Amino acid sequence: MPDYRYRPGELLVHADDCDAVTAPLAAAGYREAGGAGRTRLFTGGRTPVPDQLAALSSRRVSPNHLYTSDRIIWGSLRPRCTEDFLEDLPPLRSGDRVKVGVVDTGITRHDGAPHPYLDGRVTSTPEDIDPVVPDRDGNPTGSDGHGTFVAGLILREAPHAEVIMKGVVDRSTGDIEDLAVAHAITTLGEQGAQLINLSFSGHTWEDTPPLAIEDALLSLPDHVVVVAAAGNRGSTQVVYPAALTLGEHHAEVVAVGAAQVVGNDPATVATFSNHGPWVSAYSDGVDRTGPYFVPGYPTTCRHDDRPFTGWARWSGTSFAAATVTGRLAAVMAESRITAREAWAALKDEPEDTGAPNKIRVHHVNGEQVCPLVRPR
């Protein structure tokens, strides 16, 4: 099993199982220290997390997993300079707007305002701002700008959507943890988000569902759809939260891989994209253009000497997922249907445009035919 990442000295326990495991956890030095929803956090243990998990028979105990936007491991997946840009969005329509929740790095701001492409279309709080952490050359590090780029791709597909951004990245490490994600999902549900985009991924203990995130998703109404990135390691190994399956009476999780899409030619799975029977759909995730900081910053691009222009080209399943989220929001608004109904319509879309809407994927378990969601 691939290594999984987690917070040392922290365990998550479902509230229903606290009575059964509190005593053995206390004997190992763990004490309850809050939590999110019905998931309780225990901290301070003397026994290492893997050893403590092995000693417990209950499967409702889990590490506090750490995730990443998972793009810096591939040099080609760094943001690149571009002369391209997205056309201005149309004026907002009056009336109800589809609420789309995004759990990500937050929104970058310049002089107190987000990128002009997002202005007036993204809701956030001061806690949801993506702080710029410069390197020694003054350019951003880590996943800075990721949330802005994701939000931009959603709005490109659904310009009249309301994006509610929740910034959950640890400001010091760049990590994303189960509890922070769970709290963000719960908050988005309370705010009426009908779609939620999760453009990050990671491996988990024994490939088991992450307890806190799963519990938060189970609390959402069954008409909600959660779109999650399948990850960028070119593997068939399951990653979470994309591989979560909640059942027909709960929100639906759509795992999205990245495809290479050129015109009406048959699409292929991007070389960096995870794939396998647990992936629900694919969309274009190669060299997507989206909003990225402001003209002149970053001052240099890793691939050439030009400064950025306020836009970038970026590749990854993060952006394939954002495209699917945006298309779902657009279908919901146009047809006045739920997210689950929009997903059913989108994945079964007839091939009346001359462009194939399926993609053939080969993996260790054979061939799979998956929906291909093309950008508009």
| Residues annotated as catalytic (active site), given as ranges | 104, 146, 318
DSSP 8-class letter at 276: S
C-alpha closest to that of 174 among 127, 211, 141:
141
Provide φ and ψ at 357, rounded to 5°: -110, 20
DSSP string, 111-172: TTEE-TTTTTTEE--GGGB----B-TTS-B-TTTTHHHHHHHHHHHH-TT-EEEEEE-S-TT
- The answer to whether 257 and 275 are in contact (CB under 8 A) is yes
As given in the structure block, the two tokens for residue 92 are: 């907002």
Place of tokens 């794939």: 275
C-beta atoms surrounding 120 within 10 Å: 12
Distances, alpha carbon 123 to alpha carbons 97, 104, 228, 321, in Å: 12, 13, 20, 20
C-alpha closest to that of 196 among 254, 119, 279:
254
Place of tokens 């699917």: 324
